[in-house]
Structure 1
Amino acid sequence: MPKLQLETRQVGPWGMNTYALICPSTNQSVLIDPGDDPKTLQEMLGDSQPVAILLTHTHVDHIGALPAMRQQLGVPVMGNDGPHKPGGKDIQADRWLRNGDTVQVGEHTLRAVYAPGHIGDQICFVLENDHRIVVGDTIFDGGPGRTWSSDGFQTTLVTLRNVVLPWPDETLCYPGHGPHFRLGDRRAEIEAFLAKDHGNFFGDATWEM
């Protein structure tokens, strides 16, 4: 079975990565994180048949074009029900996705994985029988997602330990900002980062800290 086609563009003033996943066999698609620029988002979808808009989380840079795309596509909006803090928006989703829930895209299945820390409604989308995961702002090539409190940072550490590190080395992580990366290439840095005592830290972190 041919793999899902993955399209990505940077949109908005924060250079947020938006994604479209298209099933080659059925032409069904999903749009992930409609951050800005509806015209670009529509171009990514091409002549495919969208079945849902998926949200990794509800920070404004990830949902700026949500009202426009919701109206344009007329498909269900799916995300996690939170809490939408810190800094997220209370959105009206058509379906709340919790850990382990799945979304069908033609012949393919996406699985939602709850990954709080950066925000309380953060989820990743695992492409089943594939090595790709859309991780939102859970993890980047250079460090974990930003946190706004020491509690949030501690939650991020738990997510890295219990959610991210169990993924196989060949996993390709597609983040909300910056380049995608192979998890195995960062595993040693992440493990070293987790082994340190960061005290009451919160904010922007790098693996070298």
Structure 2
Amino acid sequence: MELDSIVVGPIQTNCYLLKSTEGNFLIIDPGDNPEKILEKVPKDKIKMIVSTHGHFDHITAAMVLKRKTDAKLLINLADSFMFPSDFEVDIPLEDGMEISLDDIKLKVISTPGHTPGSICLFDEKDKILFSGDTLFYSDHGRCDLPGSSYKDMVSSLKRIFKLPEDVIVYPGHGPKTNIKDEKNRGLI
């Protein structure tokens, strides 16, 4: 797997572009600027679009990309109250599911708190966690929005802090970090 990213939208969302050994792409959190994404990725190679939660800054380009490609859209339906009316989910995500595209294998970890349907995606082989808005460098996601829960966020952080300390964390916003450093910051 090859990993690239671009920053999209007014809230500077990290959109991750995962390329398989077969040349197919899985896009994580296409929050805006679909044309910017399509400049970097051939549309016929986009096979999956995954959003870590339902906030606009993580889904705005998802339907545009879905319509321009044959890609499947994956998200946790617990956030469906946030989706636009034309939002078409192909594969509802649940805790423990594995997302597989060629050599790319991502385990879905349910991490409610920022939203009820927040998830992280864990690549156990490469020790990578795509954390969406659950965990950032030196912070966690906001818990003062509709559907948010600080209690759930604490439980979710405790859960992901059980991952190996050398796991690299690629968040929804800002620079990457790792589990060890974030555990040691005393966020919970």
Alpha-carbon displacement from aligned partner over 1:117-138 (angstroms, at most 9, x marks no partner): 0001111111131111111000
Bigger radius of gyration: 1
Equivalent residue number for residue 187 of structure 1? 183
In the alignment, the residues of structure 1 paired with residue 47 and residue 107 of structure 2 have an alpha-carbon distance, to the nearest angstrom, of 15
The corresponding residue for 1:49 is: 45
CA distance in 2, matches of 1:108, 1:175: 18
Cα distance in 1 for partners of 2:40, 2:102 equals 17
Using the size of structure 2 for normalisation, the TM-score is 0.91
Instruction: Count residues in correspondence.
Output: 185
User: Counterpart of 1:89 in structure 2: which amino acid?
Assistant: F
Partner of 2:130: 134
1:5 and 2:27 aligned = no
Q: Which runs of 5+ in 1 are unaligned?
A: 195-209
Measure how far apart 1:83 and its partner are.
Answer: 4.1
Identity rate of aligned residues, in percent? 26
Q: Report the CA distance between 1:74 and its aligned residue.
A: 2.1
Change (3 A) 1:45 1:142: same
Residue 88 (structure 2) aligned to one of 73, 92, 99: 92
CA contact (8 A) 2:74 2:89 kept: yes
Query: 1:78: Cα distance to partner?
Result: 0.6
Which of 141, 155, 158 does residue 158 from structure 1 map onto?
155
The change in CA–CA distance for 1:151 and 1:70 in structure 2 (over 3 A counts) is closer
| Residue in 1 that maps onto 2:72 | 76
Q: Does 1:177 align with 2:177?
A: no
- Judge which range, 58-67 or 148-157, deviates more: 148-157
The SS at the match of 2:77 is coil
- Amino acid corresponding to residue 14 of structure 2 in structure 1: N
What is the aligned-residue RMSD (CA, Å)? 1.9
Q: Which amino acid aligns with 1:155?
A: D
Which of residues 9, 16, 19 is equivalent to 1:19? 16
Query: What TM-score do you get using the length of structure 1 for normalisation?
Result: 0.82
